[in-house]
Chains A and B, each alone.
Chain A
Amino acid sequence: MILVNRKGEVWVFAEQHEGKLEDIGLELLGRARALADNLGVKAAAVLIGDEVKALAEKLCHYGADKVYVLEHPLLEHYQANSYSRVIYDLVHKYEPQIMIYGATPCGRDLAPRVASATKAGLTADCTDLQIGDHENKDVVHKNLLLQIRPAFGGNIIATIINYDRWPQMATVREGVIPMPEPITSRKHEIIVEKIHVTHDDLPLEILSEHKRKKKVDLKASRIVVSGGAGVGSKENFRLIWDLANALGAAPGATRAAVDLGFVDRDHQVGQTGTTVRPSLYIAVGISGAIQHQAGMSDSQKIIAINKDPEAPIFDIAHYKIVGDLNEVVPKMIKAIKTRV
């Protein structure tokens, strides 16, 4: 257990797979940089794998003052046991005040195991992190990590803190923090840690690993066209594909549309799907449940098409079209194609 200290650094778990850094670690470094500057301490990345030292410099470009490199042949493939053990040792050696992870399948497997071993607090799936004070019965705890997340099915936004045991840990959703601009001139320090790993740290045997080709890259698209339950059927979802094709956009969907089998889960936008922030988001036949809005409300422009004028999606839309999507969408396609 690590007690509260004010000198501790701000750490980011820099996720890498097969020698390639995941974007989430770079996104988090941008925020860690800001948090560390606010606290007047250093920001550091924790990089784990086999022969991964070459990746350290890039982490510095994205905001790390320091990179702790934990290399070992047995750490080539991620496992919760081995990675949590070496992080546990590192945390106890340097006593960081904050440690953040991506809320990826890997981060959500790893962080709770570390939290349990260190007996530290952990908040899942944050959408924002800030520094602020907390007052509790006349005691003011200054400069805590405010861990902000939707809770209760997205109906509320909770800010969570931990003031009596550190490190303050959180996992953060992918795509909610803008990617920082790299600065190649930043002064930095790369620290290769001596570590000891044995086969006892590797209870799992990874028999095989298969990539499932993502059918759509929602995050990278400038325009997203999403359909909801209001589209009515899988056949009718063709309209969404047609509109997306006309715009060079990615087709998205609400959870309801996915659950109804209109489209594959890869397309799901929202709290339990992908978070997007495109230049243009077109919501077709989507009522606008909070859970869906959580994944798209930061879009620069939103067009909503719904026949119910009371649909909550209209509260956040820039262009409101009350009408039958079966008529409106073909008109949009026509206007785009003819540009007249």
Chain B
Amino acid sequence: MAYNCVVPIKQVPDTKRITGDAMNDDGTVNRGALPAIFNPEDLNALELALQIRDKFGGKVTAITMGLPAASAILRESLYRGADDAILITDKRCAASDTLATSYILNCAIKKLDYDLVLCGRQAIDGDTAQVGPQLAEKLSVPQITYVEELISLENRSIVAKRNIGSGWQEVKCKLPVLLTVIGEANEPRVSVARRLMKYKKARSPIEIEMQVKQDNPNAQDSELKQLAKRKINELEEKGLLIKQWDLDFLGADLQWCGRDGSPTKVHRIQSVILTARESKTVEPTEQGVADMIHELIRDKTIS
């Protein structure tokens, strides 16, 4: 029995490599100033989906909402084994919070034939872990969060082990279902060389349009359109076109998208300023250390 898996993925700034220009004045993230990576736990979700496909058959679709540059993580999904890749890109998606994001993803995923939706637990830029459960609610499917192991999948029913902090639970649920997958679940496979060679030429239509414009700086708009169209058709014939959807195609209600659809707003952003403290420098000598310990014993910090 085959199962179709959809994996919502996110391109995130590598928060371990923050530089000074990372923030815009309005408190939003200047994504252009940071290296962008495949959100780590989304790779674990993709890996689990690929394992399901390899064992039972079916199709794995990676889907992301983001800027044209997010096509990069869709290509990466194709290198690793995804069967299909979809980019949701639309200026009206900008400033979406987790609620608006889950609404937009829900509009897209409803267009697909799926048995399982596999999300990473959380993205490293926000660490909210909200989009998975919010998406499950919007799709009206149950959620199994913090999945660390898939135990069985049979007769359209899943048994999974979930990490609940103080221990673990084994839960059973009928499909369709949404899982959020944690980093401990598996070791994501690396790109397959053969697939990398093939899909490194894969592009989304918006990437092609941008490339054509760059290559022909003096061309008229109509000419650019034609050039792009030819290139898009070419890639489509070769199976190298990344699908691209906008909010009109999704039939999304704009009141639930972007800034308007986002109830949470930024009030203030502060850089973390370390508060200077009264401090003592202790010599790393026997006497220095002993004096410090004695002081702490005297003030009853150490009993």
Contact = CB atoms under 8 A, between A and B. Distances in A.
B263 to A, nearest CB: 3
Residue of B262, B271, B280, B296 most packed against chain A (CB within 10 A):
B296
A159 B268 contact: yes
A11 B128 CA distance: 21
A335 interface: yes
Interface string A255-294: 0000000000000000110000001100000000010010
Interface stretch (B2-10, B138-146, B193-201, B227-235): B138-146
B214 interface: no
B284 A301 contact: no
Interface stretch (B57-65, B85-93, B97-105): B97-105
A190 interface: no
Given A322-B284, A328-B284, A336-B302, A108 B171 contact: no
A104 interface: yes
Overall SS of chain A's interface: mixed
Interface in A144-172: 144, 146-147, 150-165
Interface residues of A, number: 89
Interface string A54-68: 000000000000000
Interface in B258-303: 262-272, 274-286, 288-290, 292-294, 296-297, 301-302
A315 B274 CA distance: 7
A152 B22 contact: yes
24 contacts: A108-B129, A112-B129, A113-B134, A113-B143, A121-B263, A122-B264, A146-B267, A147-B264, A151-B126, A153-B18, A156-B269, A156-B272, A158-B268, A159-B270, A160-B264, A160-B267, A206-B171, A209-B168, A303-B292, A318-B279, A320-B280, A320-B281, A321-B282, A334-B286
Interface of A: 80-81, 84, 104-106, 108-113, 115-117, 119-125, 132, 134, 136, 144, 146-147, 150-165, 203-212, 214, 223, 247, 271-272, 279-280, 290, 293, 300-303, 305, 312, 314-324, 327-328, 331-332, 334-336, 339-340
